[in-house]
Amino acid sequence: MPSGYSESMQAGSFERVESSAGPARGGIVLVSEIYGVEGSLRQLAGRLAGEGYTVVMPDLWWRTGPPNLAGDGAIPAAVEAVSDSLALADVRAAMGALPAGVPRFVIGFCLGGLYARMAACTLPGLAGAVEFYGRVVYAGISANKPVQPLDLLTGLGCPLQCHFGAEDVVAPPRHVDLLEQRLAGRAHPGQIYRYPGCGHRFMNPSAPAFNAPAAALAWSRVLRFLDEHGD
Task: Tell me the mean pLDDT in the region 115-129.
Answer: 97
d(C-alpha 90, C-alpha 146), whole Å = 17
Q: Phi first, then psi: what are they for 151, rounded to 5°? A: -70, -15
Helix, strand, or coil (residue 231): coil
Residues 70-104 have pLDDT tens digits of 888 899 999 999 999 999 999 999 999 999 999 99
* Inter-CA distances, 198 with 114, 159, 164, 174, 212, Å: 18, 24, 8, 15, 10
Residues 185-230 have pLDDT tens digits of 888 878 999 999 999 999 999 999 999 999 999 999 999 999 999 9
d(C-alpha 8, C-alpha 159), whole Å = 26
Instruction: For each of the domains in the chain, give its residue range(s) and CATH number, in order of start.
Output: 13-229 (3.40.50.1820)
Q: How far apart are the first and last CA of the chain?
A: 27
Q: Beta strand pairing status for 53-59 and 26-31?
A: parallel
pTM, two decimal places? 0.94
Residues 153-181 have pLDDT tens digits of 999 999 999 999 999 999 999 999 999 99
Residues 31-46 have pLDDT tens digits of 999 999 999 999 999 9
